[in-house]
Amino acid sequence: MEKIKVFGDNVNLYEDWFTQNKLIFAAELEAIRQLLPVGTR
């Protein structure tokens, strides 16, 4: 569980990143969606 602890200890940092970088996150999600086989999107 030590590997997961780092996320729990820094949850605010991660949440802030997603809040401050919405466009980057959306672009990354779209890039991943384009790699998925049709029907799994």
User: How many domains does the structure of the chain reveal?
Assistant: 1
- At residue 17, the pLDDT reads 95
In a domain, 22, yes or no: yes
| Full-model pTM | 0.64
Please tell me the predicted confidence (pLDDT) of residue 26.
97
Q: Which residue range is the domain that position 19 belongs to?
A: 2-35
Averaged pLDDT for residues 15-25: 96
Q: Is 40 inside any structural domain?
A: no
Q: How far apart, in whole angstroms, are the C-alpha atoms of residue 31 and residue 34?
A: 5
Q: How far apart are CA 13 and CA 6, in angstroms?
A: 11
Please count the residues of the chain: 41
What are the angstrom distances between the C-alpha of 24 and each of 17, 21, 39? 10, 5, 25
* Domain contains 6: yes
Q: Does residue 41 belong to any structural domain of this protein? A: no
The sign of the dihedral angle between the CA atoms of 8, 9, 10, 12 is positive
> What mean pLDDT comes out for the span 8-21?
94
* In the predicted structure, residue 41 carries a pLDDT above the cut 70: no
